């Protein structure tokens, strides 16, 4: 199982909406690097959901439930199916991640505009320690 981080602008789609919808096709990604990452997602993989505006923070978890398929609205893009798993309370802010200096080489810190990326195993372990009851 792999771990990813997927960004969303809360004005477009929030963890609240994903929780209410229960599942969604994760669309709207246009960046070539992010699309390459999306194409590697497989059912069962886990995804940290990150709100990119306002208080930039990881707000919850999703699970990949369907492999990425070509996006009918955006011919160069792919869309995987995501299912809501849980909220992460309190959210883990980008400031906290940066202040730790543990992930300075990760794309989340280095390439702030990249919308979808793999999450390094060290980050997954760090999040497990932050949320021991969440079964990350």
Mean pLDDT of all residues in the chain? Answer: 95
Domain boundaries, the chain: 3-130
* Predicted local distance difference test score (pLDDT) of residue 75: 86
* Predicted local distance difference test score (pLDDT) of residue 40: 98
Tens-digit pLDDT profile for residues 42-87: 999 999 999 998 889 999 999 999 999 999 898 899 999 999 999 9
The owner of tokens 């060290």 is: 122
What's the token pair of residue 41?
A: 């997602």
78 has which bridge partners?
Answer: 70
Q: Does 112 have pLDDT greater than 80? A: no
Q: Whole-structure pTM over 0.85, yes or no?
A: yes
Does domain 3-130 sit in CATH 3.40.50.2020? Answer: no
CA dist 35 and 33 (Å) reads 5
* Predicted local distance difference test score (pLDDT) of residue 71: 94
74 has which bridge partners?
Answer: 71
Tens-digit pLDDT profile for residues 6-20: 999 988 999 999 999
């Amino acid at each position: 199982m792999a771990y990813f981080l997927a960004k969303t602008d809360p004005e477009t789609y929030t963890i609240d909406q994903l929780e209410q919808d229960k599942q969604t096709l994760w669309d709207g990604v246009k960046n070539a690097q992010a699309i390459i990452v999306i194409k590697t997602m497989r059912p069962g993989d886990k995804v940290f959901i990150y709100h990119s505006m306002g208080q930039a923070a990881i707000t919850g978890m999703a699970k990949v439930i369907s492999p990425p398929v070509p996006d009918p609205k955006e011919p160069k893009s792919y869309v995987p199916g995501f299912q809501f798993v849980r909220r992460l309370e309190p959210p883990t802010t980008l400031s906290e991640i940066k202040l730790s200096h543990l992930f300075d080489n990760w794309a989340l810190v280095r390439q702030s505009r990249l919308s979808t990326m793999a999450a390094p195993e060290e980050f997954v372990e760090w999040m497990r320690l932050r949320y021991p009851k969440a079964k990350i």
